[in-house]
Structures are given as C-alpha cells and as structure tokens.
Structure 1
Amino acid sequence: MKKIDTEFSLQAVPLNHRNGFWKTFVVMLGLTFFSASMMSGGELGQGLTFLQFIGIVLAGNLILGAYTGALAYIAAKTGLSTHLLARYAFGEKGSYLPSFLLAFTQIGWFGVGTAMFAIPVQKVTGIDIYLLIAIAGIAMTFTAFFGMKALAIISFIAVPLITVLGSTSVFKAAESIGGIQGLLDYQPAEAISLAAALTICIGSFISAGTLTPDFTRFARKKRSAVVTTVIAFFIGNTLMFVFGAIGSIATGQADISEVMFIQNLILPAIIVLGLNIWTTNDNALYASGLGLSNITKLPKQKLVIVNGVIGTLAAMWLYNNFVGFLTLLGSALPPIGAIILADFFIVHRGNYRAFKTMTFQPINWVAILAWGVGIVAATFIPGIPPINALIATGVVHVAGMKFIGMKEKQVMTSKVEKVSN
C-alpha cells in the first residue's frame, strides 16, 4: 500500500485533514515569535522615543498583517503551500526559483539560529559549543520531521513560556528606568528617521511572512486562516518588538536573553532563548523541506532531515560568514509574495483552477521579470524598500500578464478572420 504524505507536500491539503481555529492560531503564534524581531525591536528602541516606537510598530504590523492575511486567505482557499501556489504565477519549472530561494534562506537561518542558541549557553555553562549545536540541531530537526502536529505542540509549550518569562524581564527592565514614565521620557542618543524605522519593522518579518501559506493551508476555513494570522501576528510580532525595545532602552542589549543574563535570570534566559529559536527554526526547516520537495518531488520529511543536517553542520560557519548575505537575500523574497497576491487576486480574479486539474506552463517569464524589477525597486528607489518591492512587482506582473492576454486575443482574432475569409 502506498504511504500517504500527511504533509501534502505536492498536493492541496484535503478538507478532512484541515485544522480548526485554535490549532491554526497556535502554529501561527509560533511563527510570529521570531528571534530577529527582538533584535529589530532593540534597534527601534535605541533610535525612537517610546511613543514613536509604538506608532511605528502599529503601522508596520498593519502592513504586514494585510500582507500575511491575504496570503493566508489564498492558502486556505486552495489548500496549497507557497511553493505550489508559485506554479500558477511562475510556471512549474519557474516556481523552482522561489522554492530554491526560500529553501536556501531558511536552511541558512536554521544554522544561524542554532549557533545563536549555542554561543550564549556555552558562555554560561562551559559546555562544548559544537556539542550544544549538535544537540540543538538534532532536537529541532526531530520535531520539524513530524510536521504540523509537532509544530503545534512546540508552539503550545513555547509561546506561553516566552510570554511569561519575557514579560517578567521587561517589567524588571522598565522598573529600572522609572516605569512607564521613564519610558515616555526616554530620548534616543541617535535618532533614526521614521521611514528607516518603518523599513526595519516591515523588513524584519516580511521574508518569513512570505511563507505564511505553508502553515495556513491547513486551516479549515478561509476566515479563520485570515483572523488567526492577523491576530497572531499582532500579538507575537508586537511582543517580540516590545521585548527587544524595552530591554534595549534599559540595558543597551536588544536580545531578551542578554537582558536576562544582565538581570541574573540565567535559567529563564536559556529557556526563552532556546524556545524562541526552536519555534523559529522548526518553521524554517519545515518551509525549506516544502521548497525542495517542489523541486525534487521527494517527500518533505526526508528533505527536512537533509536540511537539518546541513544547517547543523554548517551552523558556526553560517553564523560567522553568512548573516549579511542571508539578510541581503531576504530582499528577494517579498516580491515572490507580491506576485502570488497579484496573480491570484487581480490576474485570476480570486480563483485558481483546482491544482490536480492544472497543466502548468514551464516558465512564465513575466513573473521572473516582475521579480527582478521588485528587487531593483527595493534596492534603488527612495522610500521604504519592502513596500517599493511589493508595489513594483505587483504592477509589472499584472501589466505584463494583461499585455500577453491582449496579444493572445489579437492572435485568436486574426486566426478567426482568416478562417472566415
């Protein structure tokens, strides 16, 4: 008997395998408890007044909530991952480009995250760093192997603990500078512009947000997919930013675990650091497995193991040499989401033919061009790079597809005229 792929790597998730509101909500909360967001919150805390910080986080979350919520809607309606959705816009072989980029960056961040956990723990405990990396990498790969069920369990454990322990640390940090009044009175030594702040806020999560369909395709209803995504995003991302900002204002450290070390909360620091990275890394490994499954047609579970081994073995090298490149590469991911959104909502007016009935073209060069234009717009056009990328990519893709549609109609019309003559 043929074994069923319970993660549905290469097909739509059937309705009888979909999840209800709460399981989807917990998984999405785990996704939004994102380590890099704390670092970004620390950057904002150092460069803005506290009221400016609150305003920027709310504005950034509104934009990101709309972006991820729209992707969640498509995923719940179709039951498809980011990589399978990309086939409609990019073509079957064309979808290998976004799948490779998404998988490559997620494997890279898995390795970086593993090292991020091992380095401070080694400083505190004296345990060999490579042993810590091996243990963490194996544990995270093990849970990612079991897919959505394991992600839900890890998130169910991690999210409350991170919230309670992180909040305790933040209250202590705020108290040390005079409570709410001290935060309101805070003036940054070197202010950053609001445009730069919004770029940091949006840019910190928009790449990971592009992977939203990988998780919300299991939602039973479109409404619950959107609601859980938006609410989880506002709660999780806001908490991560607040943890980073208040800790940074009080101690000069953006990482909540470093703040806890300073506060002599060593055990809670290790727990928060470990669980935060665990949720981030499991989601990264899960998404990377789906990406390479789209290219190789192999089951996601096998690829998760391969990706976990690669990320673990290369963890220190990635941490020391690759963080800047991975950050740069992240600018190539938001245009992928923009193309999926534009193709679904505008080009196809909110309806895709069922995946199993589709015969995809090999490569849609319009989507490839739009993706390239989005990267250029993010790099060279003044303003907020992620927003520039989304708008430019969407406009070029829609315009290009409309132009091709017009040309095809002209060809069809000329053929009909020749036959009638």
Structure 2
Amino acid sequence: MFAIPVARELFGGSTAVEWVLILIAGACMTASAYFGIKSLTIISYIAVPLVTVLGTVAMIMAVKQGDGTIVDQFAKSSGSLTVIGGAGLAIGSFVSGGTATPNFTRFAKNGKQGTIATVVAFFIGNSLMFFFGAISYIFVGGNDIFEVMIRLNLFYLAILVLGLNIWTTNDNALYTAGLGLANIFNKRKKPMVLISGVIGTLLSVWLYYNFCGWLNILNCTLPPVGIILVISYFMNKKAYDTDTFKIVTVNWFAVVGVILGAIVANVVTWGIASINGMAVAAVCYVIGELVHKNK
C-alpha cells in the first residue's frame, strides 16, 4: 500500500524498486511491532497528529479547488453501492476494529481512559478516514488522501502521510496477529510477530491489487468474532471480574459460530452482511454456553 504508489510516482513503476521498498517498509513495520507497545506508541505519537493535520489540510484545499463541486457531489450517488451495502461496510469496519482494540486498551491506566481513547479513535479518527476516502474518490477518482495530495502538488508531504498512515495501521495489525498466534500455539509473541511480518510482506503485492475484495471478506468474517467476545463477557461477567474464570482450550460452539457466521455473511445477499454473521454466531455461542452451564 506504500511501496507500489511511491515507486510509480518516483521511479515509473519499476518492479525491482517496488520490491526494495516493500522489503524496507515491511522490515520497519515488523520491527516496531516486534518491540511491543512502547515502540507502537512512539510511532503513533509521531504519525497520528501529522496524518490528521496534513490530511485535513489537503482535504480542505481539495474542497476549495473544487469550487464547491466536491461538496455537491456528497449529496449524489454514484449508483455503485446500495444503502444497505454501505451500512454493512461501515458496521463491519467498526466491529472489525473493535475485535483488536482490547489488545491496546488493556494498557490504559483505568477503564475510563480506555473508553475515552476508544471513542475518540473510532468516532473522530475513523470518521476522518471516511472523509479522506470520499474526498479522494470525488476529487481524483481514487481511494486515498495520498492521491489528492499528489494532485495538489504536495508530493513529499503525500509520501510522508501515506508512509505514516500505512505504518501505524500495519504495525498494529502485526502486533495483534502475533499476539493471537502466540495464544493459539502457546508460543512467545515476538517470534509470532516476525512470522506474521514475513508473511504479510510477501503477500503485500497481492493484497494491494485485491484490497477492496479482502476488506469485504474481513467485514463479513470478523464481526462474528467480535460478537462472541462481547457475549462471552456479559454471560460470564462475574468470572471475568475474578480469577476464577476457567480457560477452555477450544470452545467448539464459538468456533462453529465464527465459521457459520462468516459463511452466512459472505454468502447470504439479504440484509446487512455483518449483522447477519453476528446473529448466527451469537445464536451458536449462546446455545453452547447454555449447554455447558446445564452440564
């Protein structure tokens, strides 16, 4: 998401240069995730303010240069996406992000600070990213604020914003993947982060050309995981608040719920995909918990 656009702008799309940039970027992102939450925090302290300020400035400049036509376009539909489809993408995006959020809010000093950080990140940060994408599509027919800044002749700032934006996204994703694999295979987190980084770097070219399709799959597949985590907490709240919660190696009803929920969300065309998936996953998990408690 970083190397290919930059290689095209700077070096005319040289494949060799693309791979050099991919390997360098992959190594940097993997390194920041490898060293844990402190390095992630340092990168975020630098990246988030810069991306927010520079991206907002570029968005305002694009609106002014559009002489009012961009604002008018917000009220028009391109006809390529239904309201239900758009709602599904928005809901899926928030729920997907929510499944990884506890990996970071657990470092908050207390529950209040964790809640405030989450609300600010999702309500302001995610909404701002939606605006960046919308402006990009209307202004240049693209999908990233990078393309808007290139059109505005803010070339080096565009590279900076793109690099920091992708970096903070990918290192958080690598940290989450490494933590998940460490829990699944009962291994140390750092080696799992390295494995995730190598796989992610090698598959990044494929992901670049199939990004929207991959996001659609994630928006359908991850919400079932999120709803099961939420229901698990509320159905076992007393156990979560003490040290008496018994860890089950494999909760097969949860596994089945995730699989069936993902299948339904990806296959069924009626309704909102992410909500369909969550409903199926919730039913499976609740049945499993009731059976377990009856035993």
Q: How does 1:177-188 map to 2 (within 5 A)?
A: 177-179=66-68, 183-184=71-72, 186-188=75-77
TM-score normalised to the size of structure 1? 0.63
User: 2:260 matched to which residue of 1?
Assistant: 373
Q: CA offset at residue 385 of structure 1?
A: 1.0
- How many residue pairs end up in the alignment? 289
Partner of 1:250: 139
Distance between the aligned counterparts of 1:193 and 1:381, measured in 2?
A: 12
Equivalent residue for 1:162, pick from 42, 48, 51 = 51
Post-superposition CA distance 1:345-403 (Å, at most 9, x none): 1x214542656x65533332222232233224423262111122223322332233224
Cα displacement (A) at 1:155: 0.8
Runs (5+) with no aligned partner, structure 1: 1-115, 409-421
- Give me the whole-angstrom Cα distance separating, in 2, the residues matched to 1:330 and 1:155: 24
1:383 aligns with 2:271: yes
Aligned to 2:8: 123
> d(CA) in 2 for partners of 1:296 and 1:354?
25
User: 1:259-302: CA deviations, max 9, x gaps?
Assistant: 11122111111011100000001101101110111123222122
2:102 pairs with 1:213: yes
Larger radius of gyration: 1
The residue aligned with 2:227 is: 338
In structure 2, which of residues 193, 205, 208 is the aligned counterpart of residue 304 of structure 1?
193
Asked whether the equivalents of residues 264 and 277 of structure 2 are also in contact (C-alpha less than 8 Å), the reply is yes
Paired residue type of 1:134 = L
Separation in 1, partners of 2:167, 2:251: 37
The reply to whether residue 401 of structure 1 matches residue 289 of structure 2 is yes
SS of alignment partner, residue 109 of structure 2: coil
Match of 1:275 in 2: 164
Instruction: Give the secondary structure class of the aligned counterpart of 2:256.
Output: helix
Match of 2:126 in 1: 237
CA–CA distance in 2 between the matches of 1:159 and 1:373? 37
CA contact (8 A) 2:3 2:18 kept: yes
**Alpha-carbon distance change, 305 to 362 in structure 1, aligned in 2, over 3 angstroms:** closer
Q: Counterpart in 2 of 1:290?
A: 179
Question: Separation in 2 of the partners of 1:384 and 1:251?
Answer: 29
What are the ranges of 5 or more consecutive residues in structure 2 without an aligned counterpart? none
In 2, the alpha carbon distance for the partners of 1:174 and 1:218 equals 39
Identical aligned residues as a percent: 45
Equivalent residues in 2 for 1:136-151, closer than 5 Å: 136-151=25-40
Change in CA separation of 1:250 and 1:224 when aligned onto 2, cut-off 3 Å: same
Q: CA deviation at 1:184?
A: 4.2
Aligned twin of 2:115 = 226
Deviation at 1:136, TM superposition (A): 0.8
Aligned 8 A contact 1:176 1:250 in 2:
no
Q: Counterparts in 2 of 1:186-205, with a 5 A limit? A: 186-190=75-79, 192-205=81-94
The whole-number CA distance in structure 1 between the counterparts of 2:18 and 2:167 is 17
CA distance in 1, matches of 2:142, 2:210: 22
